[in-house]
Amino acid sequence: MRFSGLGVYSLKTCHAFDVDLTQTSYFFRKRLLEYLSHFWTMFIRLQEKWGVSTRQFWILFIVFGLTGCTTAVLTRYITAWLGMDAGTFWVWKVLLRVGMLVFGYQFILLGYGALLGQWAFFWKYEKKLLQKLGVRSLESEVERTRQLTTKNKLPTPDSRLQTKQIAIFASGAGSNAEKIIGYLTGHPSVQVSLIVCNKPGAGVISIAENHGIPVLLIEKERFFRGDSYLPDLKAAAIDFIVLAGFLWKVPEALIAAYPDQIINIHPALLPNYGGKGMYGMKVHEAVIAAGEKESGITIHYVNEHFDEGTPIFQAKCIIDGGDTAESLALKIHELEHRHFPEVVERVVSGSKSPPAP
């Protein structure tokens, strides 16, 4: 009987232990899924911030991983080669690690980036890092000094009554903005007189500085729920607004103030592959995934809805069988750089004949 009682007690104990294990396992799986969901969301946001395709994002992720591992191995190797051990003065160890982090890591990153075809991304990444650390080239410093010693204020209406003034809105590197600025340099009746940007570290700001064009940095609250910076635009005598990679939706107040005077470029043949959330690499990935045989650009007026304004101009390119989202993006950029400046000039100057596609 004593044995039987012990057996019953043991069975109850095992059952309770099994229930406890089941609850613990459920709790563990739940927390694991939460962490995985959190990290996945973080990866998605990072991909959107970088503006790259899913394939390119994971290549970049691999480059960062390889760079970290290689830097750690090299640091340990150099430490052993220099004969550093527990008795070495700690300052020398710290200096070695800081040197590897500041210099070694960056060169290794560029090396792996070049090997995996991502040199352009990582070179831009390093330049942004240097800018954040306050390191600027001599050319940039000379240009900045020149701007500080000359008038670089917003233009006034009285000084520019005879010329059509353009404000370019941009959020990123500004390659289209730079093409437009270069195309219109010296134009008798059309001029880019203001760059409007919503990202303080965007490359388009450096482009504006290099051309001596004032920059207006905007913030979301005032843009969407305030006066939409209309007083600043009117003070600058702006006649037309050109969206060149500007990722915020234009508020209705701005559209009402500039009817048929806001121009946008979209990296696809609208009305296909347009709408909210369709920009940059997302568009090219969707086009490739759908098996399209051609894509292109659409330059159009802006209204209250995403990518639904009246089309002005379209140009097409052929999609080859081996094209990826990245290779398609290069073709689209070539179309943008070739046609966007000329279309902007013709629309703003009032020319009726569209450019040949």
Residue 288 CB coordination number (10 Å): 18
Query: For a pLDDT cut of 90, what percent of the chain falls above it?
Result: 34
List of residues 6+ apart from 237 with CB closer than 8 A: 155, 156, 157, 160, 161, 165, 193
- Among 4-13, 14-23, 36-45, 204-213, the range of highest mean pLDDT: 204-213
Determine if residue 308 is left, alpha or beta; phi over 0 gives left, psi from -120 to 50 gives alpha, anything else beta: alpha
The letter for the amino acid at 302 is V
Q: Give the separation between CA 287 and CA 294, rounded to whole angstroms.
A: 9
pLDDT above 60 for 163: yes
pLDDT above 80 for 192: yes
Q: What is the pLDDT of residue 147?
A: 42
Determine if residue 40 is left, alpha or beta; phi over 0 gives left, psi from -120 to 50 gives alpha, anything else beta: alpha
Q: What is the pLDDT of residue 13?
A: 53
Better pLDDT: 157 or 338:
338
Q: What is the pLDDT of residue 343?
A: 94
pLDDT above 90 for 135: no
User: Per DSSP, what are the bridge partners of residue 3?
Assistant: none
Q: What share of the chain is helix, strand, coil (3-state, %, to 5)?
A: 55, 10, 30
Catalytic residues: 266
Q: How many residues in total does the chain contain?
A: 357
List of residues 6+ apart from 148 with CB closer than 8 A: none
Q: Are 65 and 48 in contact (CB under 8 A)?
A: no
- Mean pLDDT, to the nearest integer, of 8-24? 54
- Mean pLDDT, to the nearest integer, of 180-206? 90
Q: What is the pLDDT of residue 355?
A: 55
pLDDT above 80 for 219: yes
Cis? peptide before 271, omega within 30° of 0: yes
Q: What is the pLDDT of residue 286?
A: 92
Cα separations in angstroms, 101 against 77, 92, 340, 350: 15, 14, 42, 55
Q: Give the separation between CA 262 and CA 255, rounded to whole angstroms.
A: 7
pLDDT above 80 for 338: yes
pLDDT above 70 for 242: yes
Q: Are 19 and 25 in contact (CB under 8 A)?
A: no
- Mean pLDDT, to the nearest integer, of 49-75? 81
Mean pLDDT score across all residues of the chain: 80
Residue 192 CA, distance from chain mean position = 23
The letter for the amino acid at 110 is L
Better pLDDT: 303 or 140:
303
pLDDT above 90 for 3: no
Better pLDDT: 179 or 27:
179
What are the chain's domains? 2-132 (no CATH), 160-349 (3.40.50.170)
Q: Give the separation between CA 229 and CA 197, rounded to whole angstroms.
A: 12
- Mean pLDDT, to the nearest integer, of 265-273? 91
What does pTM read for this prediction?
0.58
Q: What is the Cα gyration radius of the chain?
A: 28
Residue 241 CB coordination number (10 Å): 23
- Among 135-139, 225-229, 240-244, the range of highest mean pLDDT: 240-244
pLDDT above 50 for 152: no
Q: What is the DSSP letter of 100?
A: I
Q: Give the separation between CA 341 and CA 76, rounded to whole angstroms.
A: 53
pLDDT tens for each residue of 67-125: 889 988 888 888 878 877 777 777 777 887 788 877 888 888 888 888 888 777 788 77
